[in-house]
């Protein structure tokens, strides 16, 4: 980026330049004093030369004050040169440079000799003619040949045709054409016609956007000068607290709405009644103060290492407590060492928002590969780039503007800045009607999906899959329940010893849970899901209520389900595993192993499974883990036959272990069959 070092250079050199300006003015003053009070021509000339050397190279860009100093310098040097025979000839050159720099500048006739003044007048008359301007009303702006010019009563212009335009807010501009020749002194009168009112506003803070009747007019800028003193003081302000006057020009008869907006300030609307425009006149409003508009934001996370960004601006590490920010809309992002969190937030003025965030896998849309055009290209690209708000469990980001998909992939992989990548590639053919979406993890687990750019919602299915979250834990009463036709409630087929001891009767239905009737297993499940305490009171026919604890039973991740995008599932599991400990961590290893089995990545699945240890309770447990490990070894081929046999033998040690979930098939007969297959 070239701008950045340039900006840095400007910032570093600005104080230096200001110091140089002061020194140059001092040199200029010393030069004048040396000649005027001491008659030291040599030193005075040397100092004027210093000023000239500093200003002449940038004469075209000098502001009016420095231009005037440069003009005076030429004048002084011409006078000094003229007094020294050795430099006398150079005096004329100085005067010519002065005329070229500012044709309207007149030499100091008290300082300059009559002879030299005559030379100056002759030089000027050789190229320039004079116009005498009269302007009614005064205080407007002059343009000469379409360019802004300093408005003076007398102006010198080169020979030839010129167009002079006089502009004043509230008046119709007037234009006069003149053709100037040698010795001409032409009067140019401007009398403008009033066409509207003007309103001048001074705003605190400067930089506010100004809208009149909804139309943007620009921003207030700078600082007010002494002219605003009279209106600033009564409000306890200084003129420099206000912006420079901003003139609302062209105010036609009728009511007008004035609106001022500034970041971090409450927008202000003012109604300008018809009296401002009837009759036409110039008005100055009282200073307008915008009220600050702020909100409080708190962002915390149980995950370490988060860093908060608000609309791209780094706001420091988490926790961010009671952060004072401008009210308004933001793209909130938290970057974690792995994963991220994004959310579009709107902070109401005076309001507060507290977020407890946890890292989500970051999905990076790398772009649409290739530049070949096809029907629907812009549509599909736009839909993909706008995927973020439709994703529930993923933080979304896109490649940088102009970045190729490959470059984005390389950058994001190197920086570990994404857990998922999405690349779109047109499917080649006589005509392109399909786009392949490739969803992959940095580790390489990939799934592809074909979409048609012109179909109704090409990304609907992808989004549904990305948003689908497999259920890996379900609440349970520790009993196997059946829905039997004609039985009023889930029927207890079997239960753990503890649950039977607690009083749950086998071969009877459950009629009520916490006083609510349960028609079937699904209704019971919903009740357990909704319960926020650890146990429920269960009622069966002809018996007292029984208090049973709610168990959290693990489920196996289903493989090959079209409901899930498995790279996203895997990314989510890996992220969860980073913060998991104990049983939860072991269970996540099993789930990650299963997700890898989905991709037939048996080597890495075994790496996950062999480090995990689960319990021996009925349901998903160590037997399940051993059985899945055996299947992975089988997937690796005969080389791992011995290990597969051992894994299946291990699985047989847990006769109560099941697949899928606590009510799935028992592992034992499947492990036994696998052993026989391997023999």
Partner 1 sequence: MSAAFPWHRPAAILLLAALAAPAQDVGLAERLYYSGERAYAAKSYPEALGTWQQLLQAAPLSPYAPRALLRMAHYQAEVAHQPAAALALLDRLKADYLKSPVAADGLLLRGTLLAAQAHRPADLQEAMAEFHRVVDLFPDTPAAAGAHEGLGQAYRDQGQWGPALQHFIEAYRLHPEGPLAARALLEAGETLDLMGDLPGCLRLLQRVRSTFPKSPLAAEAAWRMAVRVKLRLLHPPFRLQGPWPEGRQKWLKTPTLLASDPAGALFLYQNSLDQASRLVDGALSPVGASVSGARVLVPTPSDDLWILTRNSLVKDAGNPTPLGALNAITGARLDRWGTLWVVDSKTPAITLFPADGAPRTLPAPMAVALAPLPTGGVALASDTDRSLHFLDAEGQPHQSVPYGKGLPAPFKYVLALASDPVGDVAALVDGGDYGEGVVVYGPDGTVLRQTTLKALGLSGRFTSLVLDHSGGVILCDRRNDTLYRLD
In terms of CB distance, is 9 or 559 closer to partner 1?
559
673 binds partner 1 (CB under 8 A): yes
Cα 323 to the chain's mean position, in Å? 18
Q: Which residues pair with 537 in a beta bridge?
A: 547
For every residue of 417-456, DSSP letters joined together read: --SEEEEEEEPPSSS---EEEEEE-TT--EEEEEE-TTSS
302 binds partner 1 (CB under 8 A): no
Length of the chain: 679
450 binds partner 1 (CB under 8 A): yes
User: Among the candidate windows 27-35, 106-114, 454-462, 645-653, which touches partner 1 by CB under 8 A?
Assistant: 454-462
Q: Which of 284, 482, 584, 617 binds partner 1 (CB under 8 A)?
A: 482
Task: Give the tokens for residue 531.
Answer: 């319960």
Q: Which of 109, 154, 563, 613 binds partner 1 (CB under 8 A)?
A: 563
Q: Which residues pair with 247 in a beta bridge?
A: 200
Compute the least distance from the CB of residue 661 to partner 1, in Å. 8
542 binds partner 1 (CB under 8 A): no
> Using alpha carbons only, what angle is made at residue 122 by residues 117 and 125, rounded to the nearest 5 degrees?
125
Positions in 490-509 near partner 1 (CB under 8 A): 491, 493-494, 507
Which residues make Cβ contacts (< 8 Å) with residue 111, sequence separation at least 6? 75, 76, 79
Contact 439, 450 (CB under 8 A): no
User: What whole-number distance in Å separates Cα of residue 220 and Cα of residue 266?
Assistant: 16
The CA distances from residue 247 to 7, 170, 198, 284, 615, in Å, are 32, 10, 7, 9, 79
Which of 432-441 are b and which e, b meaning 16 or more Cβ less than 10 Å from the residue's Cβ? bbbbebbbbb
136 binds partner 1 (CB under 8 A): no
Nearest residue to 244 via CA among 261, 221, 277: 221
User: What whole-number distance in Å separates Cα of residue 468 and Cα of residue 569?
Assistant: 9
Total chain residues near partner 1 (CB under 8 A): 54
Contact 376, 456 (CB under 8 A): no
Compute the least distance from the CB of residue 480 to partner 1, in Å. 6
Compute the least distance from the CB of residue 436 to partner 1, in Å. 6
Longest dimension (CA), the chain: 133
Compute the least distance from the CB of residue 643 to partner 1, in Å. 19
Classified as helix, coil or strand, 597 is helix
274 binds partner 1 (CB under 8 A): no
Q: Which of 152, 230, 354, 484 binds partner 1 (CB under 8 A)?
A: 484
In terms of CB distance, is 284 or 449 closer to partner 1?
449
In terms of CB distance, is 616 or 673 closer to partner 1?
673
Positions in 398-427 near partner 1 (CB under 8 A): 427
Q: Which of 57, 226, 236, 485 binds partner 1 (CB under 8 A)?
A: 485
Compute the least distance from the CB of residue 455 to partner 1, in Å. 7
In the shown chain, the binding pattern of residues 543 to 562 toward partner 1, with x for contact by CB under 8 A and - for none, equals ---------------xxxxx
Positions in 517-536 near partner 1 (CB under 8 A): 521-522
In terms of CB distance, is 92 or 494 closer to partner 1?
494
In terms of CB distance, is 223 or 461 closer to partner 1?
461
User: What whole-number distance in Å separates Cα of residue 153 and Cα of residue 132?
Assistant: 6
> Using alpha carbons only, what angle is made at residue 391 by residues 316 and 420, rounded to the nearest 5 degrees?
75
Q: Which of 208, 262, 422, 481 binds partner 1 (CB under 8 A)?
A: 481
195 binds partner 1 (CB under 8 A): no
User: What whole-number distance in Å separates Cα of residue 436 and Cα of residue 462?
Assistant: 12
486 binds partner 1 (CB under 8 A): yes
Binding site for partner 1 (CB under 8 A): 427-430, 436, 446-452, 455, 458, 460-462, 465, 480-486, 491, 493-494, 507, 521-522, 558-563, 565-566, 599-600, 659-660, 663-666, 669-670, 672-674, 676-677
């Amino acid at each position: 980026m070239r701008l950045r070092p340039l900006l840095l250079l400007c910032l570093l050199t600005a104080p230096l330049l200001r110091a140089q300006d002061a020194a140059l003015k001092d040199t200029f003053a010393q030069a004048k004093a040396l000649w005027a009070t001491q008659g030291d021509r040599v030193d005075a000339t040397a100092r004027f030369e210093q000023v000239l050397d500093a200003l002449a190279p940038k004469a075209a860009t000098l502001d009016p004050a420095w231009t005037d100093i440069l003009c005076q310098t030429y004048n002084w040097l011409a006078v000094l040169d003229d007094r020294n025979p050795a430099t006398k000839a150079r005096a004329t050159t100085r005067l010519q440079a002065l005329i070229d720099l500012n044709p309207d500048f007149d030499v100091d006739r008290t300082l300059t000799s009559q002879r030299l003044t005559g030379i100056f007048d002759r030089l000027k008359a050789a190229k320039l003619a004079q116009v005498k301007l009269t302007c009614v009303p005064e205080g407007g702006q002059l343009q000469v040949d379409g360019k802004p010019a300093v408005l003076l009563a007398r102006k010198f212009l080169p020979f030839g045709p010129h167009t002079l335009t006089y502009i004043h807010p509230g008046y119709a501009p007037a234009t006069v054409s003149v053709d100037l020749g040698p010795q001409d002194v032409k009067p140019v009168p401007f009398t403008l016609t009033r066409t509207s009112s003007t309103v001048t506003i001074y705003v605190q803070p400067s930089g506010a956007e100004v809208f009149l009747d909804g139309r943007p007019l620009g921003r207030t800028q700078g600082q007010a000068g002494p002219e605003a003193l009279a209106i600033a003081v009564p409000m306890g302000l200084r003129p420099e607290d206000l912006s420079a006057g901003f003139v609302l020009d062209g105010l036609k008869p009728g009511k007008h709405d004035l609106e001022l907006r500034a970041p971090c300030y409450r927008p202000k609307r003012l109604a300008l009644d018809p009296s401002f425009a009837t009759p036409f006149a110039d008005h100055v409003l009282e200073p307008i103060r915008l009220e600050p508009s702020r909100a409080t934001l708190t962002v915390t996370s149980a995950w370490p290492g988060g860093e908060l960004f608000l609309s791209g601006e780094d706001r420091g590490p988490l926790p961010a407590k009671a952060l004072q920010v401008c009210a308004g809309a933001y793209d909130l992002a938290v970057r974690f060492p792995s994963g991220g969190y994004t959310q579009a937030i709107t902070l109401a003025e005076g309001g507060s928002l507290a977020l407890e965030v946890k890292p989500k896998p970051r999905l990076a849309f790398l772009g649409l590969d290739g530049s070949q055009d096809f029907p629907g290209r812009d549509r599909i690209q736009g839909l993909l780039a706008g995927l973020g708000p439709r994703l529930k469990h993923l933080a979304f980001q896109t490649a940088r503007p102009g970045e190729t998909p490959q470059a984005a992939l390389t950058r994001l992989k190197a920086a570990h800045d994404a857990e998922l990548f999405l690349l779109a590639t047109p499917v080649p053919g006589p005509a392109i009607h399909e786009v392949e979406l490739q969803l992959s993890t940095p580790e390489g687990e990939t799934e592809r999906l074909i979409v048609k750019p012109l179909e109704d919602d090409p990304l609907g299915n992808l989004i549904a899959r990305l948003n689908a979250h497999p259920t890996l834990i379900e609440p349970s009463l520790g009993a196997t329940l059946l829905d039997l036709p004609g039985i009023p409630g889930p029927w207890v087929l079997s239960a753990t010893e503890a649950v039977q001891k607690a009083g749950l009767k086998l071969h009877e239905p459950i009629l009520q849970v916490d006083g609510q009737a349960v028609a079937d297993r699904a209704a019971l499940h919903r009740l357990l899901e909704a319960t926020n305490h650890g146990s429920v009171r269960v009622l069966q026919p002809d018996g007292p209520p029984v208090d049973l604890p709610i168990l959290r039973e693990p489920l196996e991740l289903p493989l090959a389900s079209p409901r899930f995008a498995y790279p996203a599932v895997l990314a989510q599991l890996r992220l969860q595993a980073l913060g998991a400990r104990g049983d939860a961590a072991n269970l996540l290893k099993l789930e990650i192993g299963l997700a890898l089995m989905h991709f037939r990545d048996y080597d890495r699945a075994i790496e996950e499974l062999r480090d995990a240890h689960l319990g021996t309770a009925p349901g998903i447990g160590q037997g399940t883990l051993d059985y899945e490990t055996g299947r992975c070894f089988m997937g690796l081929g005969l080389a791992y036959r011995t290990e597969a046999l051992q894994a299946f033998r291990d699985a047989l040690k847990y006769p109560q272990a099941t697949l899928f979930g606590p009510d799935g098939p028992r592992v034992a007969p499947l492990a036994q069959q696998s052993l026989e297959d391997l023999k």
